[in-house]
Chains A and B, each alone.
Chain A
Amino acid sequence: MPSYTLNINGEKKQVDVTDDTPLLWVLRDHLDLPGTKFGCGIAQCGACTVHVDGSAIRACSYPVAAVGDSEITTIEGLSENGDHPVQQAWLEHDVPQCGYCQAGQIMSAAALLNSNPDPSDEEINSAMNGNICRCGTYLRIKRAIKTAAKTA
């Protein structure tokens, strides 16, 4: 079985998995990073969103072989103390209901603000439309992104 050395949350991690193994299962099954969630497995819900070199990708459909030297950031590594502006805004607006999709939502939002510190409503919509919230916290998510954009 091939061996991969991955750069995850600033640390080198080695895993022995087949090259088609999705990053999602590498994180969840092999690296004990369960914050990234499984929702659909086909990049339709966004629950598994992580950052590859700062951009949002769906880890369920991203094979480990494609990672290379890229820097992977998961929800566990978004901030050291849980105080990334997006995380703080999420708490301020008390966004979560069940909470299951929120790691993916936060990672999508953080990637948006990485590339666009002051997004318009349209830009927020287009960045967040791939993330399903089954509980319907969409309005709070939008408000939290605007708050984070102000404080970031």
Chain B
Amino acid sequence: MIGFSWMSCSTSDAEAGNISDDAFDVNAYIQIDTNGNVTIFSPNPEIGQNVKTAMPLIVAEELDVDWDRVTVEQAPLNTDKYTRQLAGGSQSIRQGWDSLRTAGATAKLMLVTAAAQKWGVSASDLTTVKGVITNTRNGETMMYGDIASDAVSVPIPSEVTLKDPSDFTLIGGHIKNVDGPEIVTGKPLFGIDFKREGMTTAMIVHPPAFGMSVKSYDDSEARSMPGVQDIFTINTSIDEPNWSDVNAFNKLVVITGDSTWQILKAKQALTIQWETVSELESSSGHHNKLAEAVNSGSGDIARMDGDPDSAAGRAATVIERTYTAPFIAHNTLEPMNFFAYVKENSAELIGPIQTPEQLRGSASQLLGMPEENIKVDMTRMGGGFGRRLYGNFGLEAAAISKKIGGPVKLLYTREDDMTQGTYRPAYAIKYKASLDENGNLLSFQAKGTGMSESPLFANRFPAGTVDHYSSEDIPVQTNISTGAWRAPRSNFTAGAEQSFIDEVAEAAGKDPIDFRLELFERAMNNPVGSNNDYDPARYAGVLELVREKSNWGADMPGVYRGVSAYYCHNSYVAQVVDLEMVNDEPRIKKVWSAVDCGIVINMEGALNQMEGGVIDGLGHALYSELTFEDGVPSAENFNNYRLIRTTEAPLEIETHFAQNQIHPTGLGEPGLPPVIAAYANALYKATGKRYYNQPFLMKEEQTETLGAL
């Protein structure tokens, strides 16, 4: 059951801005003023996944308020009240659903109870619609704003009745982004826009290569330049780093100054001596390590069903293919930045962070200050994609502020941002499948490797659909900092696995959708193993939906189609890509998506997330990569790191959602992974060539095996 600590009422909670002097905090999520204006606090960080609209919408649904009277505010970090305040794993909606509904329903019950007391009637005689309470016996009405001051004194109910989903009036609608009007008029919403009187600007210089550190520096020229205040080093190492403290460069040179341009010029005038402290790795070496791992390495067998080697030995057909993908950077369009003001006994940290709670914990260690003395506020973020899970820039801002004893805003240049990332690891998977003479799948084996994690999920499809199955993880170490990148691991595995399945289906002589549906049929009726991490009926459901909507199998001259389906972050997505060849170049005519994420909270936001996921997935699989030479990243800005642009985007994207009343799940990530294989499979139809190595359109040579260089 849901914790009720956040239900404490108060009329003086000044943690977040009041909309009126006569506003009452009915609970931690809801404030109602005497005019009936409602403020709903959105607990989780907003990175573009639009939870700042969707989460308050859930509260408003159960509260029965007029959405036009609702103002949304970003809640402060307070995990006692709001529990999980993290943007990651597409979990905000899934894990927030019960609390948000309960917050709305509890507040409504308290308002109704207070109204019943005032009128001297039974609460069961009262109904609520759009912030108005009506006495059904005499038609008398009262606004929420009229009774909010009494409602805060009503004892918090221990049980509330939630709406039947069929009674929802807001959820499932097309609700516009609550920050839209401020975004289109350029209001200062983002961390980079935050200002404080007396604030200094700071920039960092980090080593040019992974494996290097700062040895010494000569700042004589830079120090004399106009606007430069100070030049020094910081070290952000802490004794007990948590998972969010991924950072290759703890020791940095810092320049503080009056304005950004002055600091940028001083940065160029610094002379820094670097020293090599660990191996200076290159992509050719990475390639060979990944090849060795999948070809001759052995690691943890995460799952083994039956005896796949023997099954393959007696099969009619055996197919073995290896897939690869490079490191990629997050490249949020808003570069890393953070504001910090560290005083003797307290600190304020304000900025774009997906993990405010973890940053507070790490800052507490760095500053030697109890967590309760550190305030962390979240701004709207110019993209996250996982990069802002790792708050090294927040710690750096704190260290700089402590050093200079005043408020500071740290800003990364694009070059700082791209060459000091927590990159998506480079990955490889070798698959081996076997078929009997009737085209039935006998065995399926996967060996996954990556720097420095395997991308495989042992209990996902096709586990459970085949008697003989194995999944083996062989991670390879690197000193290049890596971390979660939108749909971690799935962002590679879906493309690889679903491309491979396409090839296996072809070898079996079966339609690729039929082949998959046969496997799900097996998993529904007679699953292999008991811990399969998906619902085969829902998986098959999205495939059937995309088959129907895309008119799969229709004769479409000049159109080449590929299909794919994947389950991750608790949501199911199947996609069809339609390609045309224009002057021998593939053009993406249309992408069809079928999605099962349970109840759709905000249809407009859901469609937008799916469109963005499709374009993001295609863009990175087709164009983007980061390689290394002696530890130095191959790209540092958008002139040599290619991101998808508008001319390369699909001409059309059409998305359909499964209709059900299942507990909602997230959409920030699930739309991205499968489209990569749907594209590769369509490109095979168009060109006759299979695509194994990402980025597909940048690698002329595509190889089905991964040989050493």
On A, residues with C-beta under 8 Å from B are 1, 17-18, 20-22, 25, 28-30, 32-42, 44-45, 47, 74-76, 78, 82, 87, 90-91, 94, 96-103, 106, 125, 128-129, 131-142
Contact = CB atoms under 8 A, between A and B. Distances in A.
A37 B608 contact: no
B190 interface: yes
Given A82-B181, A91-B184, A142 B333 contact: no
Contacts of A142: 646
Given A22-B261, A138-B615, A99 B188 contact: no
Interface string B477-506: 000000000000000000000000000000
B150 interface: no
Nearest to A134: B333
Given A136-B644, A142-B646, A101 B184 contact: no
Contact of A98 (B184, B333, B647): B333
Interface residues of B, number: 64
Nearest to A107: B186
A125 B334 contact: no
A1 B226 contact: yes
A97 B46 CA distance: 10
A143 B278 CA distance: 51
A45 B413 CA distance: 13
B612 A97 contact: yes
Contacts of B653: 139
Given A1-B226, A44-B639, A98 B381 contact: yes
Most buried by B among A34, A87, A134, A138: A134
A97 B50 contact: yes
Interface in B33-82: 47-50
Interface stretch (B156-164, B172-180, B206-214): B172-180
B615 A136 contact: yes
Contacts of A32: 195
A129 B192 contact: no
B166 interface: no
A96 B177 contact: yes
Interface string B622-636: 000000000000000
Given A94-B604, A103-B183, A139-B611, 19 more contacts: A34-B195, A35-B185, A38-B192, A38-B411, A42-B637, A91-B176, A96-B48, A96-B177, A96-B183, A96-B184, A97-B612, A99-B48, A100-B383, A125-B647, A131-B646, A135-B48, A137-B612, A138-B646, A139-B653
Given A74-B186, A94-B608, A98-B47, A40 B414 contact: yes
A30 B646 contact: no
Contacts of B396: none
A99 B615 CA distance: 16
A36 B638 CA distance: 18
B332 to A, nearest CB: 6
A106 B359 CA distance: 34
Contacts of A18: 226, 261
Contacts of A30: 259
Contacts of B381: 98
Contacts of B260: 25, 28-29, 38
B383 A98 contact: yes
B637 A44 contact: yes
B332 A134 contact: yes
A100 B180 contact: no
16 contacts: A18-B261, A21-B261, A30-B259, A34-B186, A37-B190, A74-B186, A82-B185, A94-B605, A99-B189, A101-B333, A103-B186, A125-B647, A136-B615, A137-B612, A138-B645, A141-B646
B646 A17 contact: no
Nearest to B604: A94
Given A136-B649, A137-B612, A47 B180 contact: no
Contacts of A41: 264, 413-414, 637
B647 A129 contact: yes
B333 A47 contact: yes
- Which 4 pairs, one residue from A and one from B, show the smallest C-beta to C-beta distance? A35-B186, A100-B382, A98-B48, A136-B615
A87 B184 contact: yes
B331 interface: yes
A20 B226 CA distance: 13
B193 A45 contact: no
Contacts of B184: 75, 82, 87, 90-91, 96, 102-103, 106
Give the residue among B47, B187, B264, B382 with the most A Cβ atoms within 10 A: B382
B88 interface: no
A67 B669 CA distance: 43
B475 interface: no
B145 interface: no
Contacts of B619: 136
A18 to B, nearest CB: 8
Which of A41, A42, A138, A140 has the most chain B CB atoms inside 10 A of its CB?
Answer: A138
B673 interface: no
Most buried by B among A28, A40, A101: A40
A136 B617 CA distance: 10
Contacts of B639: 42, 44
Contacts of A125: 646-647
A94 B643 CA distance: 23
Contacts of B264: 41
